[in-house]
Amino acid sequence: MSVHPEKKARIIYHIDMNCFYASVEMAYDKGLKGKPVAIAGNPEERRGIIVTSSYEARDKGVKTTMPIWKAKQLCPELIVLPPRFDRYRLASKKIFQLLAEVTPLVEPVSIDEGYMDVTETNHPVNPVKTAESLQRKILKELDIPCSIGIAPNKFLAKMASDMKKPLGITILRKRELAKTLWPLSIEEMYGVGEKTAEKLRQIDIKTIGDLAKSDAYFLKQTIGINGERMQHQANGIDYRQVDPDAVYDVKSIGSSETLPHDTTDEKEIYLLMDKLAEKVEKRLNRKEMLGQSLQLMIRYHDRKTITRSKKLDHYVETKEEIVSYAMELWNRHWNMDPVRLIGVTVQDIVEKSEAGEQLDLFTYKEAVRKEKLEQTIQHLTEKYGENPFLESEKEKSKETIQPTTSFQKDFLDDYTR
């Protein structure tokens, strides 16, 4: 009879930068340190809301998504800065490069946070000392504070990193969950939103401990299939691996924007859709991808939000196609109320190299025309050399694309280059 040795317990870090955008601005301008700082959009427009703020501002009541005018009421001395995504992207790249020096098992999940699996590293056996060393290095080299959660899995590591900020290091062990995790309110559990928390409270689940000890069948009947996963996590069970390649698992590419005012002006809506479609086209080109579904998001003046999708019989990548299908969904589903925000997303995306050309009665002529054009260009290039007036679209898109929100993830592999 063979005996399988017990698997080595995993050691997972969750690294979370503290007030990332504000911290980056303070690293660039030391005079901002210790002052209430907020990053926000244009104060003259509705989208002038707080994106993030320093702890000094938070102590005065300033919160994310709060309008600038309200933040100024609470904190008259608030220093409001516009977002500088080129700075944040560069800082993010340098941070993840430092993480990768510790272990190759790094999984970025956003511009300012990620997971590390340090189980098999050759660094000191004490995971706390390794975390302290990494935290000091990020602070010394980049002047950016971070908190680190240490646990046997990703969920617990994420929960741990939120428990002590700024510059915290927290260990969350399974055997201590009854004391450290279970007393927390259900709203504090990662992955539980307002609506889910409300449903759970209706069935008398008020703490994470209540969720951990609840009846699995009843839970599933109340909040669906996610109930089982959430209960497992509340009990400290999470088998997900730290996956460095997860950043490439992109399922959609989209862009959204809040209008400066509520509007029913369809010309204004069309111009915004055209702008959003152009951004999506450039990002698709940069990633060399195509999509087979189009989703339109409409947020009305009362914040009611709807999303409507259309599955296509062919792949799309051009601005013209994206706008056309977005307008089709708009014409079908807009209820004539004033609109606050529009979002356009291409879904079911695949790499161009993996997508077989799908020609039908309506597209084959265009495909043939493009093919003939490409053959002509290739012939002229071979005969006369590289055409200096033609710029590679791929290179052009690489140079011009800049992230416009913190929710874009198509630049999270920068640190590997």
Nearest to 223 by CA among 212, 231, 213, 234: 231
Catalytic residues: 113
Q: Is 67 helix (H, G, I), strand (E, B) or coil?
A: strand
* Cβ-contact 154, 229 below 8 angstroms: no
* Cβ-contact 163, 208 below 8 angstroms: no
Q: Using CB atoms within 10 A of its CB, is residue 166 exposed (0-12), middle (13-18) or buried (19+)?
A: middle
Residue holding tokens 């997900």? 240
Q: Where are the alpha helices (DSSP H) in 144-205?
A: 154-161, 177-180, 194-202
Cis peptide before 166 (omega within 30 of 0): yes
CB count in 10 Å sphere of residue 52? 22
Q: In what order do the strands lie in the sheet with 12-17?
A: 106-110, 113-117, 12-17, 146-151, 169-171
Please name the amino acid found at residue 35: K
Nearest to 159 by CA among 168, 172, 169, 147: 172
CB count in 10 Å sphere of residue 163? 17
